[in-house]
């Protein structure tokens, strides 16, 4: 059957007059979302911050197994980071989520309340360029932070220890811009201090609805000190802001200095001490500074602009350094391939996953992203999977409203049959807003119509809504897999294909019984 849709549904219910609602804006490149959309995106990225029990995090990390350590210094790091998998029996957003768990040394934060206060403050900061903090734990002597897990290594690895190809120029510019975006957002949230900004703090993500595979994101761990009153910088003193060496204090301008050291890393592909780099810049020996593997990838004026920005950031006197807004303004014009996804620029391969052994023709069509085949199958299937949902109207009082609903559905189905997908979206949208019990098939048909005109995100939302209507309907899972694949979210798409195939297998098994 269908599912009830209240007037307060989280999905939009367009006005009926005019009949065609304003079309959703096409998905913008990752770094072009307007502020309003970006703020909306931030709410979608991570579950709310919460306090975890030590038992939960011990289970997630297999007892803090050394096999799950992901810190680049391994067990030698003063604060070790583990890869973990949260296990939960409920349906909240944390269920089965991969996470990074940072374990502080036992005496770093003697006061658990101070630790919890600091962590919860950082946990309120959300941004789609930030590796968001989703929880913490302070039990006994243990002090732990929990953040989203980023599987595609650090900037340090991609710059200094690359295996297949060096990080291309355009990707380096994107890293510089995304970091500046995060720092600007943190400033606006009154988190003006970022501790020990360096190439290890920048990580590359996997698949998210609003953050493409391979996008650089800044670790939220740097928004919190490593201890109650401890060091803010763990890197070599040669890379430490001068004022910290003089006073032991970190100020907002110190973050700009550290940003300058990251720019040097991006420009040179090496970890060059700022004093040496400034000597090269003053001597106009830019070729000695630039990474030779980047030859032919950039315009000289762009490289000069980034070098000059690094020089401004690395000024000895903090008052002579630019502010974060200046960094954004300076780097933005240097981006030349904003529309190209990060994983494409980086050459990250998507490992093909094994397909489920049992897939229906619809499942196979979705797996290979054959929209035409999907359309043909949905047409042949019609509404038969809804077990008589079409007949609900016959039991209602026959009113003009019911007649309007029947006509709207008819026109939508004709448009869908004739591949007039914009009009199909119009009629199905109108129908959804009219029906007290919306049809899962309507959502699936509108989802495919959105895909046909290149609007993947509303297609995913509709496919998800179809699953709400019919929780055990393989078609809803397959359509989600198709939309996720179009969004580049391959691992999530594979999960949906597996779920759909599993449901189909259970149905076939029950039929045999």
- Say which of 27, 41, 196, 462 is annotated catalytic: 196
Q: Does 53 have pLDDT greater than 90?
A: yes
pLDDT tens track for 423-472 = 999 999 988 888 877 788 999 999 999 999 989 889 999 999 888 888 88
Q: Edge-to-edge strand order for the sheet containing 202-204?
A: 130-131, 216-219, 202-204
Residues 6+ apart with CB under 8 A from 84: 57, 60, 61, 68, 98, 99, 100, 101, 146, 149
Q: What is the mean pLDDT of the chain?
A: 80
Q: Is the dihedral of CA 90, 94, 98, 99 positive or negative?
A: negative
pLDDT at 23 over 60: no
At 269, the pLDDT band (50, 70, 90 cuts) reads very high
- The verdict on whether 17 is a catalytic residue reads no
pLDDT at res. 165? 83
pTM confidence score? 0.62
| pLDDT tens per residue across span 110-130 | 899 999 999 999 999 999 899
Distance (Å, whole) CA 231 – CA 248? 8
């Amino acid at each position: 059957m269908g599912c009830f849709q209240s007037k307060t549904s989280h999905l939009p219910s367009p006005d009926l007059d005019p009949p065609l609602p304003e079309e959703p804006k096409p998905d913008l490149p990752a770094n072009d979302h307007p502020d309003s959309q970006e703020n909306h995106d931030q709410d979608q990225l991570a579950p709310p911050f919460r306090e975890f029990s030590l038992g939960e995090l011990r289970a997630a990390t297999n007892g803090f197994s050394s096999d799950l350590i992901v810190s680049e210094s391994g067990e030698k790091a003063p604060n070790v980071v583990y890869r973990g998998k949260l296990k939960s029996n409920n349906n909240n957003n944390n269920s089965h989520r991969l996470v990074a768990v940072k374990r502080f040394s036992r005496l770093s934060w003697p006061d658990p309340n101070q630790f919890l206060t600091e962590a919860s403050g950082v946990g309120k900061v959300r941004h789609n360029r930030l590796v968001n903090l989703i929880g913490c734990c302070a039990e006994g002597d243990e002090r732990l932070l929990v953040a989203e897990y980023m599987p595609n290594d650090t900037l340090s690895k991609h710059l200094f220890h690359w295996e297949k190809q060096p990080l291309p120029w355009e990707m380096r510019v994107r890293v510089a811009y995304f970091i500046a975006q995060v720092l600007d957002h943190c400033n606006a949230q009154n988190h003006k201090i970022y501790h020990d900004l360096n190439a290890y703090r920048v990580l590359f993500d996997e698949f998210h609805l609003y953050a493409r595979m391979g996008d650089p994101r800044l670790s939220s761990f740097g928004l919190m000190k490593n201890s109650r009153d401890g060091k803010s910088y763990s890197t070599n003193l040669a890379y430490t802001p001068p004022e910290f060496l003089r006073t032991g204090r970190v100020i907002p301008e110190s973050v700009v200095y550290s940003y300058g050291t990251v720019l040097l890393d991006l420009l040179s592909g090496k970890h060059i001490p700022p004093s040496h780099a400034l000597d090269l810049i003053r001597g106009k020996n830019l070729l000695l500074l630039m990474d030779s593997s980047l030859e032919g990838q950039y315009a000289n004026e762009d490289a000069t602009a980034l070098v000059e920005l690094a020089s401004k950031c690395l000024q000895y006197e903090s008052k002579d350094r630019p502010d974060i807004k200046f960094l954004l303004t300076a780097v933005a014009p240097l981006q030349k391939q904003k529309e190209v996804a990060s994983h494409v620029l980086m050459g990250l391969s998507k490992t093909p996953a094994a397909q489920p052994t049992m897939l229906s023709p619809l499942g196979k069509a979705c797996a290979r992203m054959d929209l035409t085949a999907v359309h043909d199958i949905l047409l042949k299937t019609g509404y038969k999977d809804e077990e008589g949902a079409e007949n609900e109207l016959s039991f209602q009082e026959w009113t003009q409203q019911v007649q309007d609903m029947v006509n709207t559905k008819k026109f939508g189905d004709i448009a869908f049959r004739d591949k007039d997908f914009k009009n199909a979206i119009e009629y199905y949208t109108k129908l959804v807003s009219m029906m007290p019990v919306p049809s899962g098939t309507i959502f699936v048909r509108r989802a495919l119509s959105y895909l046909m005109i290149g609007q993947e995100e509303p297609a995913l939302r509709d496919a998800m809504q179809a699953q709400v209507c019919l929780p055990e309907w393989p078609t809803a899972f397959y359509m989600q897999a198709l939309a996720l694949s179009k969004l580049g979210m391959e691992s999530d798409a594979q999960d949906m294909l597996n779920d759909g195939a599993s449901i189909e297998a259970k149905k076939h098994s029950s039929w045999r019984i």
